[in-house]
Chain A
Amino acid sequence: MRHTLAVLVENNPGVLARVAGLFSRRGYNIDSLAVGRTDNPAISRMTIVVEGDDRVLEQVTKQLHKLIDVIKISDITADEYVDRELVLIKVSAEPEKRGEIMQIADIFRARIVDLGRRTMILECTGNEGKIRAFEESLKPYGIKELVRTGKIAMLRGSRYTNINTNGTREDD
């Protein structure tokens, strides 16, 4: 089963190497990993999607906790959460095809962010399924280049993954 972990880490050099190294060394499979700093510049947040049964997940979580730079780990898989990926796709777009592509972009609420003589770059956000469908739709036109961010996720409602306030509701 795939789990989504929200991991708060110290924004120290090398912290990504520590986390990524731990996964490879202990043989855990990362599906995706996205990292960026939070509103507190000393803290970064990683969203890690990892494949494994409950036992593997328990070990992943415990081993991550042993890293001194890891502040907090929340497995949000079972909770209600919003997740998003962002993809940029450069697609062949001869002038006669542009209309079709723009229609597809419209359906997926994607945006055209660059227009070249023979190519377009489209930007789309959404969950994994939507991104996959979007990619499939563009394939027939010839995808020249594709880059995606990996999943980021956040709990819905007033619950949050934060240093001191994890899992508490403001309203209860």
Chain B
Amino acid sequence: MKITAAQALVRCLELEKVDIVFGYPGGAMLPVYDALYHSSIKHVLVRHEQGAVHAADGYARATGRVGVCMATSGPGATNLVTGIANAYMDSVPLVVFTGQVPTSQVGTDAFQEVDITGITIPITKHNYLVKDPAALPQIIKNAFHIASTGRPGPVLIDLPRDVAGATIDFHYPETVKLRGYKPTYRGHRNKINEAAELINRSQRPVIYAGGGILNSGASGELLELAELISAPVTNTFMGLSSFPGDHPLFLGMLGLHGTRYANLAVTECDLLIALGARFDDRVTGKLARFAPHAAVIHVDIDPAEIGKNVPVHVPIVGDVKLVLQSLLPLLKKTDRSPWLARVQELRELYPLRYNREGGLKPQYIIEELYRHTGGCATIATDVGQHQMWVAQYYRFKHPRGLISSGGLGTMGFGLPAAIGAQLGLPDQQVILVTGDGSFQMTMQELATVREQELPIKILMINNQTLGMVRQLQEYYCEGRYMAVDFEFHPDFITLARAYGIKGYTVETEEEAQRVIPEALGTTGPVLVNCLVSPQEKVLPMVPSGRGIDETFEC
């Protein structure tokens, strides 16, 4: 079949069963957009390319499928960079297409030319500059394979305009051609045996479960493991929603803003079972004080994560679901009631708490949200204090319930990500919890919400300041608040109305109790502007450079 490379691209996407692409057109992408004109694939036009890549990311996180986005050359491509880095840090599968100037002009500083493959080498799992139009189908086949297998991540394909317009003899390859890429899925038998022995012998195990559980779909196995060996489970931020938030064995999140009882359980445990987690600095605090009495079993699909930050006693490279399936039959059901009693004691000594005096508290809003949704909503967040309050107070019931920027911490991620999540899961209640800082970074996408008729509920924790930075300045700069308090605030209700979105303002607990269920029950999109005090802090907190057992709360 003779078609243009651009038509082949669209055909490949159809064959990969892509139903939605997020994008923004431009000169270098004309052939591709022209080809999309005849396709059944839905194209979602955003208002800024960053919105496209975050939306594709939100779509991928919510559905577990590969997110696809596209932008034109030059500024279109560079506007994607933050979103690509964001997806790379959080291991989100994306295939990103960028237009490029014609091959004859590549390297001449042509109009809207930028070396996007060069720029994105450190933030993509792999990238391609397509020079031979006939190679495009194989490249797309490879890209989807690379993005979605092993440790997932973004793959970028840069397509010069003349290449896109060239005619090729199209056929979509059945197989990938990648001799340098063979992820390990099955854990090493001997290592799995060693892990089983360690687990069966241990008195005080803790399971430390990260985003790898969600990526491999291993929540069922995780639950089975925890209940079988009576081990409490703590989640990394990325791992949240992989274990039921209301389960008696759940310790909540650990680390910098983790619960004290999770951090202390890790400190006291004799065996740490790390599953699809990477011992990130926000989790471990000072390494010398992290799980000092514990042997460590580390299961991860990325061998480079094993032994990177902490020494590991039993390393297992593999897909965590498959590894757990091999491991579970080797484990003995063990009574660990003294350990569980100790964990319960820690839980009662150091509960997650906040002072409800003095106006509407952000933590209370999240608790109300939890109460009204039963932990079943898909919650997208932005980055900052509100994000940590969601992590602490929303008890996720189902896997992939949290859509949030973990590794990169990208303010402005929330709204476009919620758009992607809602388009991926049209029947699911998608709620964006954001802050007034983050929201203003990408709020132009309200137009996309409206245009796509998405029933997203936006809950803005509005403290009229950059709360997380303010909190850091309070602790580390002796309260010299520099460039954190907004002196001008838009009227968010009028702003929402400008986009045809209903708005509420909430200032008291009573209003929150009334408005939150009303907003959740509304058919279309809603913005709830929750006015809270700028003084409120995310606690507990591990001070910079300290161990996670040195959390403070006041």
Contact = CB atoms under 8 A, between A and B. Distances in A.
Given A21-B121, A68-B146, A163 B179 contact: yes
A117 interface: no
Interface string B88-118: 0000000000000000000000000000011
Nearest to B303: A62
B512 interface: no
B180 A70 contact: yes
Contacts of B307: 55, 58
> Which of A13, A18, A62, A68 has most B Cβ within 10 Å?
A68
A14 B117 contact: yes
Nearest to B302: A66
A58 B303 CA distance: 10
Nearest to B142: A68
B122 interface: yes
B308 interface: yes
A66 B304 contact: yes
B303 A65 contact: yes
Interface residues of A, number: 22
B302 A68 contact: no
Nearest to A10: B180
Contacts of A58: 307
A108 B541 CA distance: 66
Contact of A62 (B126, B179, B304): B304
Interface in A11-65: 13-14, 17-18, 21, 25, 55, 58-59, 62-63, 65
Contact of A63 (B117, B121, B129, B304): B304
Interface in A64-81: 65-72
Contacts of B303: 62, 65
Contact of B126 (A9, A63, A68, A71): A68
Contacts of B117: 14
A17 B118 contact: yes
Contact of B178 (A25, A62, A65, A68): A68
A159 B544 CA distance: 51
B321 interface: no
A65 B180 CA distance: 8
Interface in A119-172: 163
A66 to B, nearest CB: 6
Contacts of A18: 121
B125 interface: yes
A65 B302 CA distance: 10
B129 A14 contact: yes
B181 interface: yes
Interface string B300-329: 001110011000000000000000000000
Contacts of A62: 303-304
B179 A71 contact: yes
A55 B308 CA distance: 8
Contacts of B302: 66
B304 A67 contact: no
Nearest to B181: A68
B535 to A, nearest CB: 40
A14 B304 CA distance: 22
Contacts of A21: 121-122
B179 A65 contact: no
Nearest to B125: A68
A42 B122 CA distance: 24
A59 B304 CA distance: 6
Contacts of B129: 13-14
Contacts of A10: 179-180
Interface string B115-150: 001100110011001000000000000000010000
Nearest to A13: B129
Nearest to B305: A62
A66 B306 CA distance: 13
Contacts of A69: 126, 180
Nearest to A12: B128
A68 B303 CA distance: 14
Interface in B39-56: none
Nearest to B150: A66
A43 to B, nearest CB: 9
> Which of A10, A18, A72 has most B Cβ within 10 Å?
A18
A85 B517 CA distance: 74
Contacts of A25: 122
A55 B122 CA distance: 22
Contacts of A65: 303-304
A58 B126 CA distance: 21
A68 B181 CA distance: 6
A17 B304 contact: no
B180 A68 contact: yes
Given A14-B129, A67-B126, 13 more contacts: A10-B179, A13-B129, A14-B118, A14-B121, A17-B118, A18-B121, A25-B122, A58-B307, A63-B304, A69-B126, A71-B179, A71-B180, A72-B180
Interface of B: 117-118, 121-122, 125-126, 129, 146, 178-181, 302-304, 307-308
Interface of A: 9-10, 13-14, 17-18, 21, 25, 55, 58-59, 62-63, 65-72, 163
The 6 closest A-B CB pairs, nearest first, are A62-B304, A68-B126, A71-B180, A68-B181, A70-B180, A62-B303
25 contacts: A9-B180, A13-B129, A14-B117, A14-B118, A14-B121, A18-B121, A21-B121, A25-B122, A55-B307, A59-B304, A59-B308, A62-B303, A62-B304, A63-B304, A65-B303, A66-B304, A67-B180, A68-B126, A68-B178, A68-B180, A68-B181, A69-B180, A71-B180, A72-B180, A163-B179
